[in-house]
């Protein structure tokens, strides 16, 4: 997670319970205070932990919040709902359900904003949050190809471009709907969105 495994074998081991408590406290503080008013001292107090313990494990607020928020996305799954459309609708609804939770709302955009000036942070976000979502896109496409709903991709390079495009379109639309427009990504919206997306994708695939 955050530890770079300092390869120390001797000495007292770090308390595993502390990690859990700190991340939970971070989410709790995000809900109550939001990103900008969240302070590491407060998180430490909530977690019943000294501030030094916290700094020993995370470099700062950004890294801590990334880890705390990342755990929220662990619950994303892609159960087989029988069709590509149903699969997409299912995962988008799951994704939207996470985004409306205040601990995600407050923290996610903020760390993304910070990551525009901090490459290490961006990489951390990519690895612990974005990567997981990207896997779902790949998995969904593979499943659709098995079903015959999508043709097998001819060119691996173009394939990667398409996956990137789909990912940005899906994630971007849900995030924008939820956090910028401030409206719920409810079942109706998700249905409309999925229809447009799928028609576009199949149409583009037919053209090629």
Partner DNA sequence: ATCTAACCGAGACGGTACGTCAGGTCTTTCA
Partner DNA sequence: TGAAAGACCTGACGTACCGTCTCGGTTAGAT
Smallest separation (angstroms) from a second copy to the CB of 183: 7
Q: Write the CB contacts of 152 (distance below 8 Å, at least 6 apart in sequence).
A: 145
The single residue among 4, 5, 13, 188 that binds DNA, judged by CB under 7 A, is 13
* Displacement of CA 167 from its chain's centroid (Å): 12
Q: Which stretch binds DNA (CB under 7 A): 3-11, 122-130, 154-162, 172-180?
A: 3-11
Interface characters, 26-55, with a second copy (x: CB under 8 A): --------xxx-------------------
Asked if 14 is part of the footprint of DNA (rule: CB under 7 A), the reply reads: yes
Q: Report the partner that residue 204 touches, choosing among a second copy, DNA, none (CB closer than 5 to 8 A by kind).
A: a second copy
Q: Report the partner that residue 41 touches, choosing among a second copy, DNA, none (CB closer than 5 to 8 A by kind).
A: DNA
Under 8 Å between Cβ of 140 and 78 = yes
Closest by Cα among 99, 126, 104 to 190: 99
Q: Report the partner that residue 20 touches, choosing among a second copy, DNA, none (CB closer than 5 to 8 A by kind).
A: none
Residue with tokens 């950004």: 62
Asked if 57 is part of the footprint of a second copy (rule: CB under 8 A), the reply reads: no
Between residues 16 and 157, which has the closer beta carbon with respect to a second copy?
A: 157
Asked if 1 is part of the footprint of DNA (rule: CB under 7 A), the reply reads: no
Q: Which stretch binds a second copy (CB under 8 A): 69-77, 106-114, 135-143, 148-156?
A: 106-114
DSSP state, residue 100:
T
The CA distance from 1 to 21, in Å, is 14
DSSP characters over 36-99: TT--HHHHHHHHT--HHHHHHH-SSHHHHHHHHHHGGGGG------SSHHHHHHHHHHHHHHHH
Under 8 Å between Cβ of 16 and 24 = no
- For 6, 117, 151, 152, 199, the CA distances from 206, given in Å and listed in that order, are 53, 40, 9, 12, 10
How many chain residues are in contact with DNA, going by CB under 7 A?
A: 27
Q: Which stretch binds a second copy (CB under 8 A): 14-22, 86-94, 138-146, 198-206?
A: 198-206
Residue with tokens 């120390």: 8
Of 36-65, binders to DNA (CB under 7 A) are 37-42, 48-53, 55-57, 60-61
Chain residues binding DNA by CB under 7 A are 6, 8-15, 18, 37-42, 48-53, 55-57, 60-61
């Amino acid at each position: 997670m955050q530890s770079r495994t300092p390869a120390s074998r001797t000495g007292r081991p770090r308390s595993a319970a502390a990690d859990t408590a700190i991340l939970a406290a971070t989410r709790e503080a995000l809900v109550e205070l939001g990103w900008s008013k969240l302070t590491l001292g407060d998180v430490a107090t909530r977690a019943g932990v000294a501030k030094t313990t916290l700094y020993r494990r995370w470099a700062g607020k950004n890294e801590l919040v990334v880890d705390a928020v990342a755990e929220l996305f662990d619950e994303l799954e892609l159960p087989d709902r029988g069709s590509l459309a149903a699969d997409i609708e299912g995962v988008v609804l799951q994704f939207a359900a996470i985004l409306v939770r205040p601990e995600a709302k407050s923290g996610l955009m903020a760390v993304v904003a910070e990551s525009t000036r901090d490459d290490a942070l961006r990489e951390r976000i990519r690895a612990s949050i974005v990567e997981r979502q990207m896997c779902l896109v790949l998995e969904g496409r593979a499943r659709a190809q098995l079903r015959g709903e999508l043709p097998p991709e001819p060119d691996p390079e173009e394939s990667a471009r398409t996956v990137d495009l789909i990912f940005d379109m899906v994630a971007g639309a849900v995030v924008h709907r939820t956090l910028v427009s401030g409206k719920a990504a409810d079942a109706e919206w998700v249905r409309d969105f999925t229809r447009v997306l799928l028609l576009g994708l199949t149409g583009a695939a037919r053209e090629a």
